[in-house]
Chains A and B, each alone.
Chain A
């Protein structure tokens, strides 16, 4: 059992990460600008949680064409229906998500109209395809979807704020600025990715973003921890070299942890079923962007925020 592949990982690497900081920051800047541009022009494909409306999952026989499902739903005249394939269900069936937009109506009348629309949709599907299998339905009213958007984004904001406080408390404010810039970078880049791919952005995506924030923070903290240690150890070394040394010291750990997390997430993406695909996708992207930002954003920022070396806090 003395075989350990880790022995083949290069040790004492001296990759000049910090020298490339301007290129890295330029790439990050491009990410951010592109994400914001996408967000502003294309927007986000909000899922049922945030859009409101009616969504039902059915398992139809493979012989049922998707167009005919769409025609059935559109025939109700309850707004433009969307039909989306969602993978197989056994040998002879395919699952689809059929959704109707938020029904109009003031206050509780609108809510009642939503329920009526759900009944109409289910009845129409059962009438048109007697052997269809209804697998589940979600109905989200206008008030609830609005609240979910607000709480979702509040949660992200609160989490970022608490992280800032924690890092401030554990390190110094220079570090917390770097960490927050890196985290905000990750959040914006993830939202940009959802805008680009038009994957459904729902509650699970918000959960994913929060976890990405936690994960990226985790990565950043490990690098910062080493920077602080090295700053004390090598009192004369220029800051740029200390940053570089610290990133290289923790490089094998950064890569190994990212790989194990990605391995787990890819199995979730491939096998975990339709409901978790969006979540797994967001996380996979987030782990990559979070790792990138810890090395190329969070650490170089310390050069700009002018970290104090002579601190003796413990």
Chain B
């Protein structure tokens, strides 16, 4: 117990040194550590920092300010769209030659129900629907073991076929929808030029978006929560949309509101989509002689340009409408064929609103609507206050514990103080080095660790005291004290570590930060209390050779 081999000594020193090295950058201003390239905002270490760790602890949003928003994907909407698409595929399949007569193909609840006019055609219909029923595409390059649909033909009802979507297919769709959403959100936030947003999947229907420094959540919600589904339709002037858009329309005609009128003007358009956002190559902010202020220019891809050229050539004099999320953003007349595949959308944009539309169009449409279900927003000033009071509490707590320990245990209190200091370096260095995030509850974890870390030393010192009372020599007392306290120290700390681990695995958001510092703190405090303080005590013992221990 009292002998430290050369290698052991070396590793203790190296661990301590690493802790100190990774901690130091946190106390040196960024400008002293990095050369910041004004042009692209990148920072490169300078001077000595090129050779030693230069990174600092990641601060959680509650300490640096920012928005943490969890969005939920409307999976009901996704399911309905899936069923509608299936119904449409089935209708197409039934129209193949020879055409089969269906009384109806409709979505009822979570099934597509096909009702045949002639029951004897049902088996043929079923074969064609079976052909649509392919294995689930799990999106990882493998073919699923399960088919996409459950197809049921009830022997009691000879005219009906019922098709439902299998659970595996729903899961595949959910995964795909979430992945697409994350991709689109990332493109949109990148377009905004925000710093280091975090976009991550959370559970099987939610996406977590964290934007440091953004203290207006609505900006993010507007950008992320907008579906931005764009489509081109021909205007049907023969249908009167009615004064409030509620007029009955013939099949194949839809009524949408005009975006810039705030829901007072309505227009009837053909439901059929001539082009969608998929055909969009690029959107950009520009100006146009016909409009005051900025306009949004767009360029279609090759296929889109062909379709658009054909559309404008055959419909000269009519109007077409661009619909974005069920609102008409523009409905110009076609004066001449547009073969270039580019055009402008004008109408009272500010630079900001035009830019926002450009970001949305370029990032593509979300596969489903996203609604915020959790928002935690902290302004930079509140974050600063929290970090300041947290730091103060750490320092005062640390100071009081030191005073208490030195007063109680004298020179041994000094050893535990040194151990505690190394412990703080190891916690902070560990957080920096491992790239973990420090949150406000994390600071609480550090303070608690400081209070609890001395426990191991108290256990040891009390054991030593007992041995001293039993008239052992200093060396024997020290030896026995460290040896016999070890089991209790390990048991006690493993149980606390279990609590921290559970908290980390099950804890939500900010509380996880507490589990991190508590868990790291437990590991480091066992090391420092048991190893570092022992080393100091041994060195002291050899140097002073006391007749009796001052305990």
Interface residues of A (CB under 8 A from B): 1-7, 11-12, 49, 57, 89, 107-108, 111-112, 114-115, 118-119, 133-141, 143-144, 148, 151, 154-155, 158-159, 162-163, 166-167, 170, 203-204, 206-207, 210-211, 213-215, 217-219, 221-222, 225-226, 249-250, 252-253, 256-257, 259-265, 267-268, 270-273, 275-276, 279-280, 283
* CA A6 to CA B515, docked complex, whole Å: 33
Q: Which of A141, A166, A283 contacts B494 (CB 8 A)?
A: A166
User: With A5-B408, A144-B373 as given contacts, are A155 and B494 in contact (CB-CB < 8 Å)?
Assistant: no
The answer, yes or no, to whether B57 is at the interface (CB within 8 Å) is no
Contact: A4 with B550, CB < 8 Å?
A: yes
- B66–chain A nearest beta-carbon distance, Å: 10
Once bound together, how far apart are the Cα atoms of A159 and B62, in whole Å?
A: 27
Contact of B496 among A143, A154, A217, A283 (CB under 8 A): A217
Q: Which of B54-97 contact A (CB under 8 A)?
A: 62, 70, 72, 74, 76
Are the C-beta atoms of A137 and B500 separated by less than 8 Å?
no
B452 near A108: Cβ-Cβ < 8 Å: no
Q: Which residues of B contact A217 (CB under 8 A)?
A: 492, 495-496, 499
Do B377 and A257 have beta carbons less than 8 Å apart? no
The verdict on B106 contacting chain A, using a C-beta distance below 8 Å, is: no
Question: What distance in Å separates the Cβ of B115 from its nearest Cβ neighbour in chain A?
Answer: 31
How far apart sit A2 and B546, CA to CA, in the bound complex (Å)?
11
A112–B72 CA distance with the chains assembled, in angstroms = 11
- The answer on a CB contact under 8 Å between B488 and A225 is yes
In the complex the two chains form, what is the Cα distance from A273 to B389 in whole Å?
A: 6
In the complex, chain A residues whose CB is within 8 Å of the CB of B459: 222, 253, 257
Is the beta-carbon distance between B462 and A267 smaller than 8 angstroms? Answer: no
Interface stretch, picked from B42-50, B170-178, B294-302, B502-510, is B502-510
Q: Is B451 an interface residue (CB 8 A)?
A: yes
Given contacts A214-B500, A252-B462, A272-B390, 14 further A-B contacts (CB under 8 A): A108-B369, A108-B371, A134-B215, A134-B379, A137-B375, A210-B500, A256-B462, A264-B398, A264-B401, A264-B448, A264-B452, A271-B396, A273-B386, A276-B440
Contact A280–B499 (Cβ < 8 Å): no
| Interchain CB contact (< 8 A) of A260 among B405, B414, B506 | B405
B409 contacts partner chain A, Cβ-Cβ < 8 Å? yes
Question: Contact partner of A203 among B215, B443, B502, B508, CB < 8 A?
Answer: B508
> Which B residues touch A263, using CB under 8 A?
397, 400-401, 404, 451
Which listed residue, A108, A114, A138, A167, touches B376 by the CB 8 Å rule?
A138
Mask: chain B, 174-212; 1 = CB below 8 Å from A; 0 = not: 000000000000000000000000000000000000000
Q: B536 on the interface (CB 8 Å rule)?
A: no
Docked complex Cα distance between A5 and B410 (Å): 8
The answer to whether B18 has its CB under 8 Å from any CB of chain A is no
Residues in chain A near residue B413, CB distance under 8 A:
4
In the complex, whether B518 has a CB less than 8 A from a CB of chain A is yes
Nearest residue (CB) in B for A251 is: B462
| CB of B514 closer than 8 Å to a CB of A | yes
Identity of the chain A residue whose Cβ is nearest the Cβ of B510 in the assembled complex: A203
Nearest residue (CB) in B for A4 is: B410
* B507 and A89 contact, CB distance less than 8 A: no
Contact partner of B511 (CB less than 8 A), chosen from A166, A207, A213, is A207
- A contact residues around B444 at 8 Å (CB): 204, 268, 272, 276, 279-280
Chain A min CB distance to B17 (Å): 26
B454 in contact with A5 (CB, 8 Å):
no
Does A141 lie within 8 Å of B502, measured CB to CB?
A: no
CA distance A256 to B400 in the complex (A): 13
Instruction: Give Cα A267–Cα B443 distance, bound, in whole angstroms.
Output: 12
Return A312 CB to nearest CB of chain B, in Å.
16
Can you spell out 19 A-B residue pairs with CB atoms less than 8 angstroms apart?
A: A1-B410, A2-B411, A4-B408, A4-B410, A4-B412, A134-B215, A140-B374, A166-B495, A170-B491, A203-B510, A210-B500, A215-B452, A253-B462, A261-B448, A265-B397, A273-B385, A273-B386, A273-B390, A273-B440
Q: In the complex, how many angstroms separate the beta carbon of B174 from the nearest chain A beta carbon?
A: 15
B450 touches A264 (CB 8 A): yes
Is B461 at the interface (CB under 8 A from chain A)?
Answer: yes
* Cβ-closest chain B residue relative to A179: B495
B306 within 8 A of A: no
In the assembled complex, the Cα of A145 lies from the Cα of B499 at a distance in Å of 22
Closest residue of chain B to A158 (Cβ to Cβ) is: B502
Contact across chains for A136 and B379 when beta carbons are under 8 A apart: yes
Complexed CA–CA distance, A264 and B372 (Å): 38
Q: Which residue of A lies closest to B498 (CB)?
A: A162
Please list the residues of chain B having a beta carbon within 8 angstroms of any beta carbon in chain A: 62, 70, 72, 74, 76, 215, 217-218, 221, 369, 371-379, 381-382, 385-386, 389-390, 392-393, 396-398, 400-401, 404-405, 407-414, 440-441, 443-444, 447-448, 450-452, 454-455, 458-459, 461-462, 465-466, 469, 487-488, 491-500, 502-503, 506-511, 514-515, 518, 550-551
Given A4-B551, A111-B72, are A259 and B389 neighbors across the interface (CB < 8 Å)?
no
Contacts of B450 in A (CB 8 A): 264
Question: In the complex, how many angstroms separate the beta carbon of B517 from the nearest chain A beta carbon?
Answer: 11
Once bound together, how far apart are the Cα atoms of A250 and B405, in whole Å? 17
B441/A260 in contact, CB under 8 A: no
- The residue on B at minimum CB distance from A218 is B492
Q: Assuming A207-B515, A279-B441, is B496 touching A214 (CB within 8 A)? A: yes
Q: Which residue of A lies closest to B407 (CB)?
A: A5
Are B511 and A206 in contact (CB-based, < 8 A)? yes
Contact of B502 among A5, A159, A167, A226 (CB under 8 A): A159
Closest residue of A by beta carbon distance from B387: A273
In angstroms, how far is the closest chain B Cβ from the Cβ of A9?
Answer: 8
Contact partners of B378 in chain A: CB under 8 A = 135-136
| Separation of A136 and B390 alpha carbons in the complex (Å) | 18
Assuming the contacts A4-B408, A139-B374, A151-B506, asked whether A144 and B70 have C-beta atoms less than 8 A apart, the reply is yes
Query: Do B404 and A259 touch (CB < 8 A)?
Result: yes
Cα of A158 to Cα of B503 in the assembled complex, Å = 10
- A155–B502 contact, CB under 8 A? yes
* A6-B465, A155-B503, A222-B492 known; A207+B514 contact, CB < 8 A: yes
Residue contact B386 to A275, C-beta cutoff 8 Å: yes
- Contact A57–B499 (Cβ < 8 Å): no
Chain A contacts for B389, CB-based, 8 A: 271-273
- Chain B positions within 8 Å of A162 at CB level: 498, 502
In the complex the two chains form, is B409's CB within 8 Å of A6's CB?
yes
Chain A residue numbers with a CB within 8 Å of B499 are 159, 163, 210-211, 213-214, 217
B373, B386, B448, B550: the one within 8 Å of A1 (CB):
B550
How long is the Cα–Cα vector from A207 to B501 in the complex, in angstroms?
A: 11
Inter-chain contacts of A138 with B (CB < 8 A): 375-377
Q: How far is the CB of B412 from chain A (nearest CB, A)?
A: 7
Question: How far apart are the CA atoms of A155 and B501 in the complex, in Å?
Answer: 10
Q: Is the Cβ of B498 less than 8 Å from the Cβ of A166?
A: yes
Please, how many angstroms separate the alpha-carbon atoms of A11 and B396 in the complex? 31
CB distance from B278 to the nearest CB of A (A): 26
Is B411 in contact with A1, judged by CB distance below 8 angstroms?
yes
CB closest chain-B residue, reference A11: B469
Whole-angstrom distance from the CB of B373 to the nearest CB of chain A? 4
Distance (whole angstroms) from the CB of B92 to the closest CB of chain A? 32
Per the bound structure, the CA–CA distance linking A136 and B381 in Å amounts to 9
A229 to chain B: closest residue by CB: B484
A49's nearest neighbour on chain B, judged by CB, is: B508
B400: A residues at CB distance < 8 A: 263-264, 267
Q: Nearest A residue to B374 by beta-carbon distance?
A: A144
Q: How far is the CA of A137 from the CA of B220 in the complex (A)?
A: 14
Name the 4 nearest CB pairs between A and B, nearest first: A264-B451, A214-B499, A4-B410, A214-B496
Residue of A nearest to B449 (CB): A264
